[in-house]
């Protein structure tokens, strides 16, 4: 990939100085009586790729949704790139939110816009980018995800895998510092999964974007992650390098979980 | 029917023109009311929802005929000025049918999957931008068929204005009957007239519907290969979410 197609702002990586880009302090989230996250603390350094694993209901997806401000925590502080995301006034939330992009399990492309406009709409409307610039960039990104020829198609005319790759391009078009991936291959037919993961691998290896990834694709997690966090009942019960966590986990619960999905 | 003189036909045709005008003006006002009230009913502030909900209930629960008479004859007694019959009629019909239309707008907006709003939030759109660029364009194709029904109801509802002496089809028919002393022919003629108008409206709305659906990629534009994998965006997001975030049990 050439320098001008790099879809993310350049964050120095492995320069010795680490910079915290995500910080959760004592974050608690309840849905009714159900405590989904229980006084959770964790931080992610800039440029790192962190994978969250754990049984469903363990709170992984909720963390992504908290960071995307789709839900609010009941307690705690969330900081992104040194600026507070929660609690914060609406105007600040809007600014901080621009640093974060998200790819959803169900793609959530806008069916009323053709593929190209799905990618250009937010840069033009939200970032105030000129239409020409946004289109040029959208075409680059669509080429990156292998869909340069689908600019004029409506999302409903694409396969699930193609839709998800458009959704990745759409998220990257906002030049986020952090990319949240919420089980991005779970809704795909098996034969379409590889195409999406290849694109993400490419992005993970060739850019300095920080990734937070909820997935059940363990080989993918092993491949791209710097760190893996094992969740259970709203807490991180184990964290470590993918080699350690997948190869020789300390925690019995982790071993059990891995045996059910590997 | 052939015993109508040319003058009586002219009277009826002028009535058709008045009915068309009434329908168009009332529909324009009604559409504005429908969108304002319908969107207000989805507003996040309860007071806005309450006021717009009260509007809907009041206009749904009152007779358009009585309301029309009230606007024309009672309001002048208190305010000291009177609307011309035509505008009193348009005001009443627009407000009444707008109230029904607000239910269509509210329902269609509520039917847009919440995941679309979430995608809009994730891309940094403001609530107004999400409404304009994401939610309304997707809700619009859902509104067109029920709007068509309502429009035809409105067309037929314009017959009420004859009580105010507005010279629409029905009023003209009364004059013709008085002139000829014969009800059967003239009322048969205007039945057909209303039907033809309603049929034309339906054809126009079909066209609108087809364009609206093409605008969200729901019918394949001709001459293009279509790779259709799954239907429009799967809509089980909420279910998936609640199991992922809340279903620890």
Which CATH number does the domain housing residue B133 bear? Answer: 1.10.3720.10
**How far is the C-alpha of A11 from the C-alpha of A21, rounded, in Å?**
10
B230 has a chain A CB within 8 A of its CB: yes
**Is the pLDDT reported for residue B99 higher than 60?**
yes
Q: Is residue A114 part of a domain?
A: yes
Q: Is residue A28 part of a domain?
A: no
**A-B contacts at Cβ under 8 angstroms:** 138
- Helix/strand number for chain A, H first, E second: 9, 10
B96 has a chain A CB within 8 A of its CB: no
DSSP track, B187-244: HHHHHHHHHHHHHHHHHHHHHHHHHHHHTTT-SPPTT------SSSS---HHHHHIII
Note the ipTM here.
0.89
Q: Is residue B231 part of a domain?
A: no
B136 has a chain A CB within 8 A of its CB: no
3-state secondary structure at position A15: coil
Q: What was the pLDDT predicted at B219?
A: 63
Q: What was the pLDDT predicted at B81?
A: 82
**How far is the C-alpha of A107 from the C-alpha of A85, rounded, in Å?**
24
Q: Is residue A142 part of a domain?
A: yes
Q: Is residue B75 part of a domain?
A: yes
Predicted confidence (pLDDT) per residue in B62-86, tens digit = 999 999 999 999 988 888 888 889 9
CB of A175 within 8 A of CB of A8?
Answer: yes
Q: For residue B52, what are the domain limits?
A: 6-114+122-220
Q: Is residue A147 part of a domain?
A: yes
Q: Is residue B100 part of a domain?
A: yes
Helix axes B169-180, B6-40, angle to 10 degrees: 150
**Is the pLDDT reported for residue B1 higher than 70?**
no
B119 has a chain A CB within 8 A of its CB: yes
CB of A156 within 8 A of CB of A111?
Answer: yes
CB of A165 within 8 A of CB of A195?
Answer: yes
Contact A70/B228, CB-based, under 8 Å?
Answer: no
Q: What was the pLDDT predicted at B237?
A: 40
The overall average pLDDT reported for chain A is 90
Q: Is residue A148 part of a domain?
A: yes
Q: What was the pLDDT predicted at B145?
A: 94
The pTM assigned to this predicted structure is 0.82
Q: What was the pLDDT predicted at A17?
A: 64
Residue of A nearest to B217 (CA): A154
Predicted confidence (pLDDT) per residue in A58-86, tens digit = 889 999 999 999 999 999 999 999 999 99
Strand partners of residue A20 = A45
Contact B231/A36, CB-based, under 8 Å?
Answer: no
Q: Is residue A140 part of a domain?
A: yes
Residue of B nearest to A153 (CA): B217
Under the banding of pLDDT at 50, 70 and 90, the label for residue A5 is very low
Residue of A nearest to B134 (CA): A110
Apex CA B108: angle with CA B106 and CA B114, to 5°? 95
Domain count, chain A: 1
From chain B, the residues in CB contact with A34 under 8 A are 246, 248-249
Choose from A36, A97, A100, A108 for mutation: most chain B CBs within 10 A: A108
**How far is the C-alpha of B236 from the C-alpha of B249, rounded, in Å?**
20
Q: Is residue B190 part of a domain?
A: yes
Nearest CA to CA, how far is B47 from chain A (Å)?
21
**Is the pLDDT reported for residue A258 higher than 80?**
yes
**Is the pLDDT reported for residue A22 higher than 90?**
yes
**How far is the C-alpha of B44 from the C-alpha of A164, rounded, in Å?**
31
Q: Is residue B74 part of a domain?
A: yes
Integer angstrom CA distances of residue B211 from B54, B133, B207: 34, 17, 6
Domain count, chain B: 1
CB of B115 within 8 A of CB of B233?
Answer: yes
**Is the pLDDT reported for residue B224 higher than 70?**
no
Q: For residue A122, what are the domain limits?
A: 109-158+165-174
> Is the link from the previous residue into A87 a cis peptide, with omega within 30 of 0?
yes
**How far is the C-alpha of A6 from the C-alpha of B117, rounded, in Å?**
28
Q: Is residue A75 part of a domain?
A: no
């Amino acid at each position: 990939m050439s320098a001008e197609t790099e879809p993310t702002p350049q964050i120095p990586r492995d320069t010795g100085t680490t910079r915290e880009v995500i910080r959760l302090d004592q974050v608690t989230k309840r849905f009714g009586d159900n405590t989904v996250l229980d006084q959770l603390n964790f931080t992610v350094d800039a440029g790192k790729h962190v994978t969250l694993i754990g049984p469903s209901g363990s709170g992984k997806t909720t963390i992504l949704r908290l960071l995307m401000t789709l839900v609010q925590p009941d307690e705690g502080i969330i900081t992104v790139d040194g600026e507070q995301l929660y609690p914060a006034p609406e105007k600040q939330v809007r600014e901080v939110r621009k640093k974060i992009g998200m790819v959803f399990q169900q793609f959530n492309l806008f069916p009323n816009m053709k593929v190209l406009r799905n990618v250009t709409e937010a840069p033009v409307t939200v970032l105030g980018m000129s239409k020409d610039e946004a289109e040029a960039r959208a075409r680059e990104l669509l080429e990156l995800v292998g869909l340069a020829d689908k600019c004029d198609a409506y999302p409903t005319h694409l396969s699930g895998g193609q839709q998800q790759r458009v959704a990745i391009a759409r998220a990257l078009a906002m030049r986020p510092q952090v990319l949240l991936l919420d089980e991005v291959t779970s809704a795909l037919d098996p034969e379409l999964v590889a195409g999406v993961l290849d694109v993400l691998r490419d992005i993970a290896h060739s850019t300095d974007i920080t990734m937070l990834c909820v997935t059940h694709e363990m080989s993918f997690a092993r491949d791209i992650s710097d760190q893996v966090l094992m969740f259970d009942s709203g807490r991180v019960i184990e964290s470590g390098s993918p080699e350690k966590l997948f190869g020789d986990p300390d925690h019995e619960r982790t071993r059990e979980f891995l045996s059910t999905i590997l | 029917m052939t015993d109508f003189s040319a003058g009586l036909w002219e009277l009826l045709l002028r009535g058709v023109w008045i009915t068309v005008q009434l329908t168009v003006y009332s529909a324009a006002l009604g559409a504005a009311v429908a969108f304002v009230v319908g969107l207000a009913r989805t507003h996040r502030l309860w007071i806005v929802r309450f006021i717009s909900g009260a509007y809907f209930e009041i206009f749904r629960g009152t007779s358009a005929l009585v309301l029309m008479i009230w606007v024309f004859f009672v309001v002048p007694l208190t305010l000291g000025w009177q609307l011309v019959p035509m505008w009193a009629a348009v005001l009443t019909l627009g407000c009444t049918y707008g109230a029904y239309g607000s239910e269509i707008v509210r329902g269609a907006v509520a039917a847009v999957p919440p995941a679309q709003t979430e995608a809009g939030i994730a891309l940094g759109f403001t609530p107004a931008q999400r409404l304009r660029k994401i939610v309304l364009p997707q809700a619009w194709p859902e509104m067109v068929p029920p709007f068509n029904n309502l429009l035809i109801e409105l067309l037929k509802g314009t017959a009420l204005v004859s009580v105010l002496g507005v010279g629409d089809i029905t009023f003209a028919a009364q004059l013709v009957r008085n002139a000829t002393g014969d009800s059967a022919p003239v009322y048969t003629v205007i039945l057909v007239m209303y039907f033809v108008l309603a049929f034309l409206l339906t054809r126009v709305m079909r066209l609108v519907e087809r364009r609206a659906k093409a605008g969200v990629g729901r019918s394949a534009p001709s001459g293009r290969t279509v790779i259709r994998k799954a239907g429009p965006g799967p809509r089980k997001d909420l279910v998936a979410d609640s199991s992922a975030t809340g279903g620890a049990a």
